[in-house]
Amino acid sequence: MAENDTSRTSRRAVLLAAGSAGAAALTSACSGPAGTRGAAGQPSASPSRPSSAATPACVLTPEAGAGPYYLDLDRVRSDITEDRRGVPLRLDLTVVRVSAGCRPLPAATVDVWHADASGAYSTGQETFLRGSQVTDGAGRCVFRTIVPGWYAGLAPHIHFKVHPDTRTETTSQFFFPEDLLLKVYARQPYARRPAPEHPNQRDSRYRSTGAAMTLDLSPDGDGYRAAHTVGIA
């Protein structure tokens, strides 16, 4: 089943702090009891730069749809790779509440899900490349995964959903620099399929929101690492 284009502009929006949060300050995965959501009654999240005293400037970005592959598995774990092969990716996230001066939000649940190197999502009883984390006292969490493959004419992306409490949620997605994708797709197991010449530019969602939603990646061993600050209105 191909993912349809479910991007939309919403009154409830994702706010992204300009630039990436300092990766050095994001060294530990979020903690939380397995099988639990963020604590009820917690406000929505908004992260600040951990290593800077300055309040980050927040940029309003349209919320993106979850697509047809979201599963409410409530599977709390940092490493979501399972048996999927691919270029390793460490994703360091900080969640902040913008309306509170970009103050870090603890106890928010962050769900992440994306396609494997062949462009396939886990479905049914499968759980690969899906997981949740509960932000720590500094609003931080870490996911270990792989760079997603391309599929369905869309720019390669990672979906995420933030639950600041049990009643509300915010959904969006991260993109990747196109030059980096082409390097990754020249490696195995991605190279089993010829990659599009322009993986991103063919997607209208990327053209409209990619500037704010593209991860800033740096080399990390055999793979890459990205730190991003997600601000909730």
Per-residue pLDDT of the chain (233 residues; tens, 9 = 90+): 445 444 333 333 444 433 333 333 333 333 333 333 333 333 333 333 333 334 444 444 446 766 656 667 778 999 999 999 999 999 999 999 888 888 899 999 999 999 999 999 999 889 999 999 999 999 999 999 999 999 888 999 999 999 998 888 888 999 999 999 999 999 999 999 999 999 998 899 899 888 889 999 999 999 999 999 998 87
Whether 30 maps to a domain, the answer reads yes
SS3 207: helix
Whether 6 is in a domain gets the answer no
Mean pLDDT of the chain: 77
pLDDT recorded at residue 69:
63
Per the domain annotation, does 9 fall within a domain?
Answer: no
Q: What are the backbone angles phi and psi of residue 190, rounded to the nearest 5°?
A: -65, -35
- Residue 99 is predicted with a pLDDT of 81
Is 75 domain-assigned? yes
What's the rounded Cα separation, in Å, for the pair 102 and 46? 5
Question: How many domains are there within the chain?
Answer: 1
Residue among 155, 152, 175, 164 at smallest CA distance from 226: 175
Query: Could you tell me if residue 1 is inside a domain?
Result: no
Q: Is residue 5 situated within a structural domain?
A: no
Distance CA 99, CA 18 (A): 16
Q: Which of the 8 DSSP states describes residue 31?
A: -
Q: What is the pTM of this model?
A: 0.75
In a domain, 92, yes or no: yes
Structure tokens at 40: 């009820």
Looking at the domain assignment, is residue 55 inside a domain? yes
- Kindly report the CATH number assigned to the domain that includes residue 29: 2.60.130.10
Domain encompassing residue 41: 14-232
